[in-house]
Structure 1
């Protein structure tokens, strides 16, 4: 979709919203924003014999979000819209593959000058229950949308959420298509099989049905637990348990616990067999936060998740997720919020992760890898540039079975509330 078509479509959606039989609540509770993302990505491949020396591109993204309120009555009706546009600023055939831009259909080694899409979502509300159908951005353990590049990855499907019982949230739904972060096409879904996941597929390579259900209960304001199920029809099934707790210790001190366990099996068309355990503990003291994490994979394959999405793992970081077959990994992390020094909006993060015991399937020895990340970010707090954000992300990873990478990302973002 080119820019003119996208602009006309968004104008048409807005016009229909305000000229149709909308009630006061539909309009009064609506909101819209425009987010601008300027994204520079540089990834150097450091291992000998790499097919490509580096991936380096620069792009500008536009994200127009609109959320309506609901009409009055027993059944409230509403509509959301998401307009996405990515524009190439710099790329070349020998530097593609950053995930920022869409590949040209006729020349796969070249990036398109621009790409975009318009996603619409119809929604119904009855009491404390909501049903959405259309373009969706789920944040569920079994389906976590990816927003790590220029434009977010989206799903197409239907999703019902109910909060009728106090402190209990229920989810139920189905996706039939996925739109990857550097694509404008709705495609069937597949299981991610990078690194050393060692997942073997039968005749079924993709699926047009991902069913999910879940329940989250808040026992106290600081303690919650959840169970979620996700199944990619004909490929894999997954059961996911999570536990989150925040323990206040003293003024300005707390201990946060994040514990996760997932059990994944095949659904007739693969060899998926994985148990994933992860735990992250973070001690906060004033502007400081110290984190320690541990993650372990067991079974005949690595972790299973939909290709193009984020794996909901405690050791998912900038480049790797340490979800390979039999992998054991740990993480040490440090964060600092400079608001404690009177500089609100400035934050710093650094972490180191190490993984070993990866099953290399026939190769001698065990697979080992490590990764180091550093993030520095600042968001302007006031004045004419309020909400302007600048973030630098740096990563280094080394492996005896995968790529050796040095990576830098520079992201400028600005969100403007339209109403």
Structure 2
């Protein structure tokens, strides 16, 4: 895309910089900026008897500005990345708040508006980048959630190095989190309680999460990953991953994703878990058929940072199937309509079933649950509506130890490239 003087001005003003285009040519040349408008309707009906709230239903509009600069010239290049967010309520009331789309207020409802600005400075030497400030993460150790109106952002630093071909090294120190339905940064929590089998003492938050690890492309078909992470006072975790993509024949692939994580307590929790998972997917002519299995062993369920997306093969729209002693399987089908000449249109459906959940206490019965998901999405590929996306996500959950839920999410988003 040709970079106009207007687009350059938008990026410069967003980052709050006054730079010489001659002296910092690469800084401007490699800059990127987009503005996403995200309209989100969320409806969750609670179907179990005696539910405290019959449903959670809200409708909101959000805007997400992402601006990533290039680097200044020289041995050490410097730059800035920024994420600006703004959301406002379109509909929420009558006791239907709590969807996670909007920031809660003191009355039990939701605030009318929310906004934030996340800025990170960065420095680059060769193929090694250091970022410090407000960041999003996505790896085996931690993955920022973007499943609501506005994204989750963390405060900390990250070092990523790709000096060796095929090898990516990744390390970070994180201190606080601004959750997707929050206006403020706060200490980091651990997922706990209920059938998770994780108990904590002295509060469930901390101001320190560290990880180090990376991925290595062993061969063209095989990628291996390992991460060590520590949520101070709560858990230490070693996570392993192997992904193999076998080209069975022309236009056909068999992908196998194997995951294992060993988690132990770090002083103030009862975390003791081994999580095993495997997902195998066969793809041909636009069709994808997947089968997955996940197993939890040890004295607790899977440990991960609260409100993030856990690195599990059976983490889906509502549930993660990671309770104490839980065994679960998944059957999934996807179809990409580009195979019949309709690019941008995709369909997905899956069914998951979990059992053997240890409910603890005096309840000796076996915990069981199932979830069914369906998703239909279309993104316009050309014309005046190019980059306009429409997504419908439907889910049903039934359980003998948790909530029975029917859920619909309707998301309309439009991404405007500014640079």
Aligned to 1:49: 50
Cα distance in 2 between the residues matched to 1:299 and 1:408: 34
SS state of the match for residue 33, structure 1?
strand
Aligned to 1:101: 102
Residues 309/47 of structure 1: CA separation in 2 closer, same or farther (3 Å cut): same
The Cα of 1:11 is off from its aligned counterpart by 8.1
Deviations 1:316-375 (A, max 9, x none): 000001000000000000000001111111100000000000000020211000000000
CA contact (8 A) 1:204 1:235 kept: no
Aligned to 2:93: 92
Aligned to 1:356: 355
SS state of the match for residue 199, structure 2?
coil
Q: What's the TM-score once normalised by structure 1's chain length?
A: 0.95
Matched, 1:233 2:222: no
SS state of the match for residue 26, structure 1?
helix
Q: What's the TM-score once normalised by structure 2's chain length?
A: 0.95
1:305-320 aligned within 5 A = 305-320=304-319
Cα distance in 2 between the residues matched to 1:67 and 1:83: 12
Residues 129/384 of structure 1: CA separation in 2 closer, same or farther (3 Å cut): same
Cα distance in 1 between the residues matched to 2:51 and 2:300: 26
Matched, 1:292 2:298: no
Write out the 4+ residue segments of structure 1 that deviate beyond 3 Å after TM superposition. 9-15, 17-22
Aligned to 2:375: 375
Aligned to 1:196: 195
Aligned to 1:327: 326
Cα distance in 1 between the residues matched to 2:206 and 2:60: 31
1:20-419 aligned within 5 A = 23-104=24-105, 106-107=106-107, 109-193=108-192, 195-362=194-361, 363-419=363-419
Cα distance in 2 between the residues matched to 1:306 and 1:414: 30
The Cα of 1:221 is off from its aligned counterpart by 2.0
The Cα of 1:195 is off from its aligned counterpart by 4.8
Deviations 1:190-246 (A, max 9, x none): 101255112111225211000100021101122110110110111111110000010
Q: Which runs of 5+ in 1 are unaligned?
A: 1-8
The Cα of 1:116 is off from its aligned counterpart by 1.0
Cα distance in 1 between the residues matched to 2:48 and 2:91: 25
Residues 22/311 of structure 1: CA separation in 2 closer, same or farther (3 Å cut): farther
Q: Which runs of 5+ in 2 are unaligned?
A: 1-9
Residues 226/17 of structure 1: CA separation in 2 closer, same or farther (3 Å cut): farther
SS state of the match for residue 142, structure 1?
coil
Residues 340/10 of structure 1: CA separation in 2 closer, same or farther (3 Å cut): closer
Cα distance in 1 between the residues matched to 2:36 and 2:151: 12
CA contact (8 A) 2:234 2:266 kept: yes
Cα distance in 2 between the residues matched to 1:318 and 1:71: 41
Residues 12/93 of structure 1: CA separation in 2 closer, same or farther (3 Å cut): farther
SS state of the match for residue 196, structure 1?
helix
CA contact (8 A) 1:189 1:306 kept: yes
Cα distance in 2 between the residues matched to 1:194 and 1:250: 47
Residues 392/22 of structure 1: CA separation in 2 closer, same or farther (3 Å cut): farther
Cα distance in 2 between the residues matched to 1:22 and 1:374: 52
Cα distance in 2 between the residues matched to 1:122 and 1:92: 40
CA contact (8 A) 2:153 2:178 kept: yes
Give aligned pairs, total.
409
